[in-house]
Amino acid sequence: MADKVTVRTRAAGDSAENGVFWESAGEGDYTVADITKADRGTEITLHLREGEDDFLNDWRVRSIISKYSDHIALPVEIEKQEEVDGETVISWEKINKAQALWTRNKSEIKDDEYHEFYKHIAHDYSDPLTWSHNRVKGSRSTPACCISRPRRRGICGTAIINMA
């Protein structure tokens, strides 16, 4: 998909001079350098190969990010460029839910979201057999999601348990 990947990052709380630049063409070596980066956060730039124009499609990028990043607790944003009064205005739009699936209220989660989450973490193509999504209450409230594989693996059926 990409000839080269460029990452520019700076941790929250670090000064602008503590940014880091990382770049690789995927051939075994990479470049790392200190940079000045005014804003905190991470920017990832994919330098697309010729013929990979499908990844320039806004909807395609959003659907990939949504599919693989809705359950992580960090926001993923996409740059938006709009023409306002003849000038290009750049803003950032959050495109993932930025909340781990098991920490969300189960009444807000569709079956398809459990299916996609299972397929992502299990590297499986099948839908899960079943799942249980609970909040265990005691001195602390702990969310948990237990997802059962659709077929037997190993000596006994395997379950994937995720707790925040």
CATH code, 147: 3.30.230.80
The band of 149, judged by pLDDT with boundaries at 50, 70 and 90, is confident
Cα–Cα distance, 8 to 22 (Å, whole number): 7
Average pLDDT, the chain: 84
In a domain, 89, yes or no: no
- Tell me which of 20 and 115 has the higher pLDDT: 20
Strongest mean pLDDT among 34-38, 66-70, 128-132: 34-38
Q: How far is CA 133 from CA 37, 50, 128, 164, in A?
A: 41, 44, 13, 12
What pLDDT shows up at residue 155? 43
Residue 94 DSSP code: E
SS3 142: strand
In a domain, 76, yes or no: no
- Which domain range does residue 36 map to? 2-56
What pLDDT shows up at residue 98? 67
What are the pLDDT digits (tens) for 42-54? Answer: 999 999 999 998 9
Domain count, the chain: 2
Nearest to residue 67, comparing CAs of 121, 18, 14?
121
In a domain, 33, yes or no: yes
The band of 30, judged by pLDDT with boundaries at 50, 70 and 90, is very high
In a domain, 127, yes or no: yes
